[in-house]
Chains A and B, each alone.
Chain A
Amino acid sequence: GAGVSQSPSNKVTEKGKDVELRCDPISGHTALYWYRQRLGQGLEFLIYFQGNSAPDKSGLPSDRFSAERTGESVSTLTIQRTQQEDSAVYLCASSLASGGPEAFFGQGTRLTVV
């Protein structure tokens, strides 16, 4: 695709429900990142995929958070039993390779847990 695409753009969910966020990276990009941006704060690293290597999950805040990636394409970030503190914008980015070219960002998914 022309850019990194994320869906949905906005998601409102009730506390305790599970949510799934989707990211379509730029075609051919082997590296994919997920970040969380809480209101008024910086980008918090969540997880990183690079090709077929094991993902770096060191940023996932709890075991309620998980992510998958199918080959070098779509990734989904799943949050189980959502809490109000999970409310944030979730950003996805992709790049041609790790440790190299710039990362291109999607528009983000704004998650609100009520």
Chain B
Amino acid sequence: AQSVSQHNHHVILSEAASLELGCNYSYGGTVNLFWYVQYPGQHLQLLLKYFSGDPLVKGIKGFEAEFIKSKFSFNLRKPSVQWSDTAEYFCAADSWGKLQFGAGTQVVVTP
């Protein structure tokens, strides 16, 4: 069955630390990949997306993600986090229209 898995449920780190969140998907064929973020009390919003082309994609707020087809992975990175990056992060994959999400990773950035 098609699925999306995220490696960590909770991550706590200090400001200025680097962040990497793992995401793997189990789709065959063409797949579109996304990272969404949900800040406390807000809607889910798109951070970045990959459809084709350069496997390293840049998103908003300094985030980037790398698509590695051979590993079925789409990991999210940010070199230096801020307190305002405290949020829940969701990886998602879309194949033939069915957009499925991972379980989410709660990220807490301490001052």
A residues bordering B, Cβ < 8 Å?
A: 3, 31, 33, 35, 41-43, 45, 48, 50, 56, 58, 91, 93, 95, 98-100, 102-103, 105-108
B65–chain A nearest beta-carbon distance, Å: 14
B residues bordering A, Cβ < 8 Å?
A: 6, 32, 34, 43-46, 49, 51, 90, 94-104
B46: nearest residue on chain A (CB-CB)? A102
6 A-B residue contacts at CB 8 Å? A42-B6, A43-B104, A56-B97, A99-B94, A100-B32, A105-B44
Tell me which of B49, B51, B96, B103 contacts A42 (CB under 8 A).
B103
Chain B residues near A35: list those with CB within 8 A: 101
Kindly state the separation between the CA atoms of A17 and B63 in the bound complex, as whole angstroms.
44
Kindly state the separation between the CA atoms of A31 and B32 in the bound complex, as whole angstroms.
15
A43: nearest residue on chain B (CB-CB)? B101
Is B95's CB under 8 angstroms from A99's CB? Answer: yes
Assuming the contacts A98-B94, A99-B95, asked whether A45 and B32 have C-beta atoms less than 8 A apart, the reply is no
